[in-house]
Amino acid sequence: MSLLSLKTELRQELKLTPQLLQSMEVLQMNSQELLDYLGRLSEENPTLELSDSADLRSAYESLRQRASWLDAGTFGSSFAHEEDGPPEPGAVDRALESLSAFLCDQLERKRLPKPMLALCKYMAELVDEDGYLAQEDLDGLTELKIPADMVEQALDTLQSLEPAGVGARDLSECLVLQLSRQKQPVPYAMDIAARFLTELGRGHYGPIAKALGADTAEIQAAEKAIAALDPHPGRAFEPAEPTVYVRPDVFVVELDGELRVVLNEYYLPKISVNPYYENMARNGDDAEARTYLREKLRQTKWLLESMERRGSTLRRCAEAILETQRAFFEGKTTELAPMKLTTLAEALSLHPSTVSRAVRDKYLQCRQGTYPLRYFFNRAVGQRDMSRQAVKQRLLLRLKDEDPAHPLSDQALCALLTGEGISVARRTVAKYRMELGIGTASARRKRRGTKKNPAQREKAERRTASAVRLSV
């Protein structure tokens, strides 16, 4: 459900600014969506003229001569191109049904008013690959002047769909949504999922039991029920090894001895106003035709303004990323500096939802490879103000150097990182280790041939996995 489609369905109930809607829609489009969108508009709007640009083709070839690595990326073939032209449209393997398509199919089966159906479909397409809906995206709906009660109703509808937990705004809400559907609820599980996930992840049963007026056995039973839930309900719709071809939206290249941001607009056609129909809109004899063409002319001018705004916003975001992560782009380090989306938005005097749209499904290519723009946003971890990726890199180095006969426990890893000035909790170390696909110390010891009591090992790994999954 596009923003323009949403506008159409909500027209009777909401007063939406066409310029704002078009600008927001264009901003969040990736390169292929934008190309398809321009093609559709040119078929519907006679005042909009698209033409090939030899100048852009020449500029792209000139850029390639100065940065020969442009044709390669970390996702295999980052984009395809003709021998004498700019990159061709990318493609995504859609053999498997997407989560958004699955959600929209369920919504179609509900008897919802058209405006509510349109809003629900739009929100369904905002759900990420894990099944979560970012609060910043919900906040962004206020820019459309959609009533808060309407948004709340749409959210309730979305969260009622399968898979259970979809549309949650955080892990706690995801688990609560799943527990609420159980026919035989486990005592205290709902309260724990809503209020005590952190304590549960640390194994602090006593304080939880005291707060809820329960005994330890009941808390452990609730823990077992919670651990059986799916913290990533959307991942069932994600291909194990999807074939993805992407066209970078932004390049970071060295020009005249300085790293610069270059927008990848070489694939776009030249956009202009058709002079014939522009003249007819002003001087035509047919009043009805003049009215029609004037409206189409306004749409074309709005499009040109939206395109300019999209390019400006994307460039500002990319330049801010370059400035913050300069050491990475210069090849001085493989670690990223901490950078939050909200912090960047504040620095650029933009709403966080605007930045979120600008970077969504967009890619940046540099000498190091091709990365989603969201890759460069990281929360600070520890006293040294390092990013998550940087901490994971340090963790990998420590695990690489460990004694195979005596693998490092999470507590030992925590102590080593603390000695380097990286103060992180043990549960954080466990979480990062699991995200890296590395087993527990006991599991690593088993792989290396050291015997361990199976029952003890299984119990330890289950506890660790539970703590990681429930970490906030």
Local structure of 144: helix, strand or coil: helix
At residue 8, the pLDDT reads: 52
Upstream peptide bond of 147 is cis (omega within 30 degrees of 0): no
The percent of residues in the chain predicted with pLDDT above 90, rounded, is 22
Within 10 A of 82 (CB to CB), how many other CB atoms are there? 9
Residue 162: pLDDT over 50? yes
Give, for 75, the enclosing helix (H) or strand (E). Answer: none
Structure token digits, residue 75: 């996702």
Determine the residue type at 138: L
At residue 211, the pLDDT reads: 93
Largest Cα separation within the chain, whole Å, is 92
At residue 333, the pLDDT reads: 81
Q: Say what the pTM is.
A: 0.52
Structure token digits, residue 407: 């693998």
pLDDT tens digits, one per residue of 432-446: 777 676 777 776 765
DSSP output for 302-331: HHHHHHHHHHHHHHHHHHHHHHHTHHHHTT
347, 320 Cβ separation under 8 angstroms = yes
At residue 105, the pLDDT reads: 87
* Angle made by CA atoms 333, 339, 343, in degrees to the nearest 5: 155
Residue 464's contacts (CB-CB under 8 Å, 6 or more residues apart) are: 410, 430, 434, 440
pLDDT tens digits, one per residue of 299-352: 888 888 889 989 999 999 999 999 999 999 998 887 788 888 888 888 898 888
Residue 449: pLDDT over 70? no
At residue 196, the pLDDT reads: 92
Higher pLDDT, 370 or 389: 370
At residue 160, the pLDDT reads: 94
Residue 109: pLDDT over 80? yes
Q: Where are the domains of the chain?
A: 3-92+245-369, 99-236, 380-469
Structure token digits, residue 406: 């005596």
- The burial of 227, by beta-carbon neighbours within 10 Å (0-12 exposed, 13-18 middle, 19 or more buried), is given as middle
Give the separation between CA 102 and CA 158, rounded to whole angstroms: 12
Higher pLDDT, 327 or 236: 327
